[in-house]
Chains A and B, each alone.
Chain A
Amino acid sequence: AQTVTQSQPEMSVQEAETVTLSCTYDTSENNYYLFWYKQPPSRQMILVIRQEAYKQQNATENRFSVNFQKAAKSFSLKISDSQLGDTAMYFCAFIQSQFYFGTGTSLTVIP
């Protein structure tokens, strides 16, 4: 069975600093996709970044980047130059045939 684990229920970071959110997953498959979604207090889930498992290069989107370690089944999200608007729940998600979400990390950016 596929599972997604986010071991950090809550994190905080000072504005303009860098923070890394961790995610591990379990699968026996070789081809799959990983996502980080952001859910602000308004509760609309927004895609942050996605990574195809067959790609060795880590995905980046402006201030957001991932560290994808396929052998270790690890998919962490790095947020650089944190902004107040980054305060939200962050969910790691895995898809092979179905989407599986982790339990989320609540990130607070402190002014």
Chain B
Amino acid sequence: EAGVAQSPRYKIIEKRQSVAFWCNPISGHATLYWYQQILGQGPKLLIQFQNNGVVDDSQLPKDRFSAERLKGVDSTLKIQPAKLEDSAVYLCASSLVQGPDTQYFGPGTRLTVL
């Protein structure tokens, strides 16, 4: 069974530029999560999708971050414009069902904003 795929693995941009991350969850997983993990901290949930609908985006900085999962499979997370404090690893995870189900994580995208 293929795992959660993410690309790119690394990205370096300058502040005020835009960046997009892509995630392909495990086949059949209805729930998809985006996390931000700042160095030395645990992952913080940014947004949760159930199929193509948003379940929770309460911690997503909506003035600069956006995410979509149009067909209920792949998802993209965008930052526009980026700030220095956005430097982090962005993790995508998926689970079979919503709720207390095991989440499977992708390798993450390490973003550096200069």
Measured CB to CB, the residues of A under 8 A from B are: 4, 32-33, 35, 37, 42-47, 50, 52, 91, 93, 95-96, 98-99, 101-104
List 14 other contacts, CB 8 Å, given A43-B110, A101-B42, A104-B42.
Answer: A32-B100, A33-B100, A37-B105, A42-B107, A43-B107, A43-B108, A44-B3, A44-B107, A44-B108, A45-B43, A47-B104, A99-B33, A101-B44, A104-B40
Could you tell me if A91 and B43 are in contact, using CB atoms closer than 8 angstroms? Answer: yes
Chain B residues with CB under 8 A of A95: 99-100
Whether A98 pairs with B48 at a CB distance below 8 angstroms is: yes
Closest to A94 in B: B100
* Range, interface on chain B: 20 to 34
18 chain-A/chain-B pairs, Cβ below 8 angstroms: A33-B100, A37-B105, A42-B107, A43-B107, A43-B108, A43-B110, A44-B105, A44-B106, A44-B107, A45-B91, A50-B102, A91-B42, A91-B43, A95-B99, A96-B100, A98-B45, A98-B56, A103-B40
Q: Could you tell me the distance in whole angstroms from the C-beta of B102 to the nearest C-beta in chain A?
A: 5
* A13 vs B93: C-alpha distance when bound (angstroms): 30
- Give the 6 A-B CB pairs with smallest separation, nearest first: A101-B42, A45-B105, A33-B100, A95-B100, A44-B107, A101-B43
Complex Cα spacing A33 to B33, Å: 17
Residue of A32, A35, A47, A101 ringed by the most chain B CB atoms within 10 A:
A101
Instruction: For residue A6, give the distance in angstroms from its CB to the closest CB of chain B.
Output: 8
Task: Please give the residue numbers on chain B whose beta carbons come within 8 Å of chain A beta carbons, in ascending order.
Answer: 3, 33, 40-45, 48, 56, 89, 91, 93, 99-100, 102-108, 110
Closest to B102 in A: A47
Which residues of chain A are within 8 angstroms of B100 by Cβ–Cβ distance? 32-33, 52, 95-96
Q: Which single residue of chain B is at the shortest CB-CB distance from A31?
A: B100
Cβ-closest chain B residue relative to A106: B40
